[in-house]
Amino acid sequence: MSACDRFCDADPSGIRLRAAIIPPMNAYHRRYCRSAKWARQLEETVLPWVIRDYDLGADVLEIGPGPGLATDLLRARYPRLTCIEIDEKLATSLKERLGGTNVEVHQGDATAMLFPDGSFSGAIAMTMLHHVPSAELQDRLLAETFRVLRPGGVFAGSDSTVNLKFRLVHLFDTMVVVDPGPFARRLEAAGFVDVAVREGKGAFRFRAKKPA
């Protein structure tokens, strides 16, 4: 039985409210996140950079998949993939598109997940942390990810660093920039060990492990 088989699809208190108060992406941002250009960049550059040398195991959690461009790549790499997406429309669309595959999609809040402790062998969050509307909620997401990982499980991901283009793309969006400098300490505060944060051009990647 996969972790998702044990997941309750009930709508926990506050998910709809929290989703409703997060400003939607502007039209340009929505188009870009579905674009062939971003899909190609994910496949050729971003995802290989994030997960190289890291073993996420066979039962992986993807946090905040959005329209699912990274999901399409991840599901080819891992036997079982679970996605948790707070936006109801995006979650419904992704669930319909990937029905009958090795992907299970749930609409839910990653700061208060309903998955049991130790459900997943690995977790990944691709360029989504800055959409979490406060640093406090970001830290809660880190703690929840730690909780649902199995001992020895790896949490990997990436996010953007701030520049003018990044700010323009996010006009009228939620944008709580994650500073890569102290981010390692935030992961360690959530309980992770063997933390690594590496900056690249316009982005950073991270890797952390739940103690075995």
pLDDT band at 35 (very low <50, low <70, confident <90, very high): confident
Is 1 contained in some domain? no
| Domain count within the chain | 1
Q: How far is CA 2 from CA 54, 71, 81, 102, 158, in A?
A: 22, 18, 10, 11, 26
Is 73 contained in some domain? yes
Domain housing 129: 10-209
| Cα–Cα nearest to 148, from 183, 113, 124 | 113
Terminal alpha carbon distance of the chain: 22
Instruction: Please name the amino acid found at residue 41.
Output: Q
pLDDT of residue 161: 85
CATH of residue 156: 3.40.50.150
Return the sign of the alpha-carbon dihedral for residues 189, 192, 193, 194. negative
Tens digits of per-residue pLDDT, 95-152?
999 999 999 999 999 999 999 999 999 999 999 998 899 999 999 999 999 999 999 9
Tens digits of per-residue pLDDT, 36-78?
887 898 999 999 999 988 899 999 999 999 999 999 999 999 9
Question: What is the CA 125 to chain-centroid distance, rounded?
Answer: 3
Is 4 contained in some domain? no
| Cα–Cα nearest to 115, from 64, 193, 61, 190 | 61
What average pLDDT does the segment 157-166 reach?
75
Q: What angle do CA 51, 153, 193 make, to 5 degrees?
A: 90
**Exposure of 169 in the CB half-sphere (CA atoms within 13 A):** 15
d(CA 141, CA 147): 10
Is 5 contained in some domain? no
Q: Tell me the whole-structure pTM to 2 decimals.
A: 0.83
pLDDT band at 11 (very low <50, low <70, confident <90, very high): very low
- Percentage of residues in the chain with pLDDT exceeding 90? 68
